Amino acid sequence: MSQETLRKPLSPQQLASSKNRSLFSGDTRLGWLLVAPALLIVLGMVGYPFLEAIRISFTDRMIGRGPGEFVGLDNYRYIIQWPQFTEMVVRTVSFTIVAVFLKTVVGLILATALNQDFRGRNILRGVFMLPWILPTYIIVLVWRWIFDGQTGVLNQILMSWGLIDANIPFLAKTWSAIGILIFVLVWKGYPFYALTFLAGMQTIPKDLYEAAKVDGAGRLARFRYITLPGLQQVMGVVILLSTIWTMNTLEIPLLLTGGGPSNDTEVFPLLTYHLALQNFRLGEGAALPIMMLPVIALLVLGVASYMDREAIE
Amino acid sequence: MTNVFDRIPESVFRVISAAVIGILLFMIIFPLYFMLITAFKVEREIYSELTWIPLEPTIQNFYDVFYNFGIPLYLRNTLIVAGITTLIVIIVSVLASYALTRLRFPGRAGMARGVLFVYLVPSSLMLIPMYLIIVKLGLTNSYTGLVIANMSFSVPFCTWLLMGYLRSISAEMEEASLIDGCTRMLSLWYIVIPLSVPGIVTAAIFTFNNVWNEFIFALVLAQDDAHKMISVGLANFYRADFYMVGPMMAGSIIAMTPVVILYILAQRYVVSGLSAGAVKG
Amino acid sequence: MHSNIEGLSRRNFLKLSGSLTAFGVLSACAPAAAPSGSGAPDGDKSLTFWMWNTFAPGADEILQERINDWGAENGVTVEISRDSDSNQQTKIMPAIEAGTLPDAMFSSAVVALQMMEARAIAPVTDLFGEIGEAHGGWQPRLEEYATRDGEIHFLPYSIDTPMVQYRQDVLEAAGIEVPEGQWTWEQTRDLCVQAQEYSAEAGDNMVGWGFGIVSQQHDGWCHDLFRNFGANLWDETGTKIVLADESMEAATNALNFTKEAFDMGLFPADAASWDYASNNKAYQEEQSILVINAASIYVWAAENRPELAEATGLAPKPSNVLDTTNTDLRYTTVMSSEASDKETAGDLIKALYDENIYAPWLESGFVANVLQEYNALPMWEGKRGAFNLAAQIGTYPGFPAPFDNAAMSELLGPNDPHGSMMVRVLIDGWTPEEAIAESDEFAKRVFEKYF
| pLDDT interval class at C5 (50, 70, 90) | very low
Distance between CA atoms of B198 and B201, rounded to whole angstroms?
A: 5
DSSP state for residue C375 in the 8-state scheme: G
User: Are B55 and B74 in the same domain?
Assistant: no
Of A31, A49, A142, the CB nearest to B34: A142
Give C313-329 pLDDT, tens digit per residue: 988 889 888 888 888 88
Q: Which residue of C has its CA nearest to B91?
A: C12
Q: Are C186 and C261 in contact (CB under 8 A)?
A: no
Q: What is the pTM of this model?
A: 0.81
Residue B269 exposed, middle or buried by CB count within 10 Å (0-12, 13-18, 19+):
buried
Number of Cβ atoms within 10 Å of the Cβ of A7: 14
Environment class of A19 (CB within 10 Å of its CB; exposed 0-12, middle 13-18, buried 19+): exposed
- The 10s digit of each residue's pLDDT in A86-117 is 889 999 999 999 999 999 999 998 888 887 77
**How many angstroms away from the CA of A42 is the closest CA of chain B?**
6
In Å, what is the CA distance from C418 to each residue of A82, B243, C165, C340, C409? 17, 26, 22, 42, 13
Backbone angles phi, psi at C335, to 5 degrees: -120, 140
In a 3-state reduction of DSSP, which class is residue C49? strand
Q: Closest to B5 (Cβ–Cβ): which among A205, A220, A296? A: A220
Statement to judge: residues B49 and B114 lie in one domain: no
For chain A, give every domain's residue range.
77-312
Answer whether residue B263 is part of any domain.
no
Report the complex ipTM.
0.78
Render pLDDT for A270-291 as a digit per residue (tens, 0 to 9): 888 777 666 777 788 888 888 8
Backbone angles phi, psi at A242, to 5 degrees: -65, -35
pLDDT exceeds cutoff 60 at B279: no
Q: How many domains does chain B have?
A: 2
The answer to whether residues A280 and B132 touch, using CB atoms and an 8 Å cutoff, is no
Tens digit of each residue's pLDDT (9 = 90 or more) over C129-159 = 999 999 999 988 888 889 988 999 999 998 8
**What CA dihedral angle connects A125, A129, A131 and A137, to 10 degrees?**
-150
**Which of B45-54, B164-173, C34-43, C172-181 has the least mean pLDDT?**
C34-43
pLDDT in tens, C363-390: 877 788 889 888 888 888 878 888 888 8
pLDDT of residue A313: 46
- Average pLDDT taken over every residue of chain C: 84
Higher model confidence: residue C381 or residue C76?
C76
- Cβ within 8 Å, pair C427-A149: no
Residue C39, CA distances (Å) to C43, C374, C424 in order:
9, 28, 54
Cβ contact, residue pair C214, A278, below 8 Å: no
A152 to chain B, minimum CA–CA distance in Å? Answer: 8
A249 part of contact set with chain B, CB < 8 Å: no
Burial code of B5-19, b = ≥16 C-beta within 10 A, e = fewer? eeeeeeeeeeeeeee
Per-residue pLDDT tens digits for A172-228: 888 889 999 999 999 998 988 887 788 778 778 888 888 888 888 777 778 888 888
Burial of B48 (C-beta count, 10 Å sphere; 0-12/13-18/19+):
middle
Inter-residue contact B221 to B140 (CB < 8 Å)? yes
String of b and e for C351-387 (b: at least 16 CB within 10 Å)? bbbeeebbbbbbbbbbbbbbbebbbebebbeeebebb
Closest Cα in chain C to A62: C118
Q: What is the pLDDT of residue A12?
A: 59
Asked which of B60, B78, B104 is the last residue of a domain, the reply is B60
Question: Cβ contact (<8 Å) for B95 and A38?
Answer: yes
Nearest CA in chain C to B44: C304
Asked whether residue B30 is assigned to any structural domain, the reply reads yes
Which residue in C120, C273, C414 is closest to A172 by CB distance? C273
Burial environment of residue C434 by CB neighbours within 10 A (0 to 12, 13 to 18, 19 or more): middle
Distance from CA of C378 to the nearest CA of A (A): 37
Range of the domain at B148: 70-236
Q: What residues of B are in contact with residue A124 (Cβ under 8 Å)?
A: 21, 25
Q: Give the minimum alpha-carbon distance from B40 to chain C in angstroms, rounded to a whole number.
A: 16
pLDDT for position C382: 79
Do B147 and B95 belong together in one domain?
Answer: yes
Tell whether B39 is within 8 A of chain A (Cβ).
Answer: no
**CB-CB contact of C213 with C408 (8 Å):** no
The torsion defined by the Cα of A138, A142, A148 and A153, in degrees rounded to 10, comes to: 170
Tell whether B211 and B85 lie within a shared domain: yes
pLDDT (average), residues C65-87: 89
CA–CA dist C447, B45 (Å, integer): 47
Residues B98 and B230 in one domain: yes
Minimal Cα distance from A66: which residue of C?
A: C97
Instruction: With CB atoms and an 8 Å threshold, state whether C87 touches B219.
Output: yes
Q: Which of C18, A195, A196 is nearest to B261 (CA)?
A: C18
> B153-183 burial, b if ≥16 CB within 10 A, otherwise e?
bbbbbbbbbbbbbbbbbbbbbbbebbeeebe
> Are B32 and B91 part of one and the same domain?
no
Q: Please enumerate in sequence order all residues whose Cβ is within 8 A of that of A172, keeping only pairs 6 or more positions apart, or say none.
A: A149, A261, C269, C270, C271, C272, C273
Dist. CA B187–CA C24, nearest whole Å: 36
- CATH code of B201's domain: 1.10.3720.10
Answer whether residue A121 shows pLDDT above 80: no
Q: How far apart are CA A32 and CA A13, in angstroms?
A: 21
Our CA-based measurement puts residue A221 at a distance from the nearest CA of chain C, in whole angstroms, of: 33
Examine residue B251 and state whether it is found in any structural domain, yes or no.
no
Contacts of C30 in chain B (CB under 8 A): 72-73, 76
C280-304 pLDDT, tens digit each: 888 988 989 999 988 888 888 888 8
Is C215 in Cβ contact with A169 (below 8 Å)? no
User: Cβ of C33 and B70 within 8 Å?
Assistant: yes
Q: How far is CA B58 from the centre of its chain?
A: 32
Say yes or no to pLDDT of C35 above 60: no
Which pLDDT score, from 0 to 100, does residue B268 have? 63
H-helix or E-strand spanning residue C291: strand C288-293
How many angstroms away from the CA of A174 is the closest CA of chain B?
Answer: 23
- Three-class secondary structure of residue B27 per DSSP: helix
Contacting residues of B for A120, CB less than 8 Å apart: none
Q: Does the beta-carbon distance from C55 to B75 stay under 8 Å?
A: no
What mean pLDDT comes out for the span B36-55? Answer: 81
CB contact under 8 A, B240 and C53: yes
> What pLDDT was estimated at residue A211?
87
- Give the tens place of pLDDT for each residue, B145-199: 999 989 988 898 888 878 877 877 777 888 888 888 888 888 888 888 888 887 7
HSE, CB side, 13 Å, CA atoms: give it for residue B83: 21
- With an 8 Å Cβ cutoff, are B232 and C276 in contact? no
- Per the domain annotation, does B278 fall within a domain? no
> All domains of chain C, ordered by start, with CATH?
45-160+328-393 (3.40.190.10), 163-326+415-448 (3.40.190.10)
C325 close to B (CB below 8 A):
no
Chains with ≥3 Cβ pairs under 8 A against B? A, C
Mean predicted lDDT score pLDDT of chain B: 81
Distance from CA of A151 to the nearest CA of C (A): 8
Measure the CA–CA gap between A31 and B97, rounded to whole angstroms. Answer: 10
Residues of B in contact with A24 (CB under 8 A): 103-104
Pair B152, B217 in one domain: yes
CATH of A77-312, one of 3.90.1150.10, 3.40.50.150, 3.10.520.10, 1.10.3720.10: 1.10.3720.10
Q: Within the 74-93 window of chain B, which residues sit less than 8 Å (CB to CB) from chain C?
A: 75-76, 79-80, 83, 86-87
Residue B52 lies in a domain: yes
B115 and B53 in a common domain = no
**Which pLDDT does position A7 carry in this prediction?**
41
Q: In chain C, positions 20-59, which contact chain B (CB-CB < 8 Å)?
A: 22-23, 26-27, 29-30, 32-37, 50, 52-55, 57
Answer whether B70 touches C (CB < 8 Å): yes
Distance of CA A34 to the CA centre of its chain: 28
pLDDT on residue B276: 37
Same structural domain, B109 and B232: yes
Q: Is B100 left (phi over 0), alpha (psi -120 to 50) or beta?
A: alpha
What's the pLDDT score for residue A92? 92
Answer whether C182 touches B (CB < 8 Å). Answer: no
Contact between A280 and A62 under an 8 Å Cβ cutoff? The reply is yes
Within an 8 Å CB–CB cutoff, is residue B225 touching chain C?
yes
Q: A164 or C15: which carries more pLDDT confidence?
A: A164
Stated as kind and residue range, the H or E segment containing A211 is helix A206-214
Measure the CA dihedral C109/C115/C117/C120, to 10°.
-140
For chain A, say whether B159 makes contact (Cβ under 8 Å). Answer: yes
Residues B99 and B182 in one domain: yes
Using the predicted structure, report yes or no on whether residue C197 has a pLDDT greater than 70: yes
Q: Does residue B72 belong to the interface with chain C, where contact is any CB pair within 8 Å?
A: yes
CA of B61 to nearest chain A CA: how many angstroms apart? 16
Q: Using CB atoms, which residue from C7, C19, C35 is nearest to B70?
A: C35
CA distances from B214 to A250, B88, B206 (A): 12, 17, 12
